Amino acid sequence: MDAPLEFDTSHIRLQDRPLIVCDVDDVVLHFFAPFLTFLDGEGHEFLPRSFRLTGNIISRANGTALEEKDVHRLIEAFFEAQEQWQTPLDLVVDTLGDFSKDADIVFLTAMPPQYWAQRRRLLDRLGLDYPLLASLQPKGPIVRSLHARRALPVVFVDDMAHNLHSVGEHVPDCLLINLKPDSIVHRMAPAAPAGIPEANEWSQAAPLLRAHIGG
């Protein structure tokens, strides 16, 4: 039996229509490319030796790998300043705007929730004013809570295999889409479960969504 969901979604009010749940980093907003530039400004460099950040970010001053706590500090500093660094993926604003005529859209980002306000301002500035949830908890139970067994189409878009697996386990009728940029780190990422369609950009993802939700 699943543990109770400790993340409140009751403030999200859905209409009687399909639901699209989207990750944000490297799905809606570029993350890894600007993070590399941010690291450079901090005197560090990412070495593409494996998928993990910890162990692969080195100090240019002495060539040593940063400890996990220092990597976390850099990620949090980046999220603190995200409004200066992150930009939207090509076509995402217009594509989601088009789908919002026929479906509810909710952003679900795996980001420490203390940076919710910065992300909210950034998304609003870009015209992406859809509800935003920030949580480090597994995404499957959150999407299940949002959808609440409604007899309507539901779609989940994410760049990470473990998130797609989590949602697939908890919302079996959900269309899963593995949308990820063709970055050096994503090429090293674990593969999504078999049968999940992949896309590198929104022009590829949009027909998959449209076929599922109709309209």
The full DSSP string for the chain is: -PPPP-S--TT----SS-EEEE--BTTTB--HHHHHHHHHHTTEEE--SSS-STTTEEETTT-PBPPHHHHHHHHHHHHHTHHHH--BPTTHHHHHHHHTTTSEEEEEE-S-GGGHHHHHHHHHHTT--S-EEE-SS-HHHHHHHHHTT-SS-EEEEES-HHHHHHHHHH-TTPEEEEE----HHHHTSPPPPTT--EESSHHHHHHHHHHHH--
C-alpha of 43 from chain center: 27
Number of CB atoms found within 10 A of residue 65's CB: 16
Residue 22 corresponds to which amino acid?
Answer: C
Residues in the chain: 215
Q: Give pLDDT, residue 4.
A: 46
pLDDT tens-digit map of 81-131:
999 999 999 999 999 999 999 999 999 999 999 999 999 999 999 999 999
Mean pLDDT score across all residues of the chain: 95
CATH code for the structural domain at 19-30+88-213: 3.40.50.1000
pLDDT tens-digit map of 49-76:
999 999 999 999 999 999 999 999 999 9
Q: Where exactly are the structural domains of the chain? A: 19-30+88-213, 32-84
Confidence (pTM): 0.94
Q: What is the arithmetic mean of pLDDT over 26-55?
A: 96
pLDDT tens-digit map of 147-169:
998 999 999 999 999 999 999 99
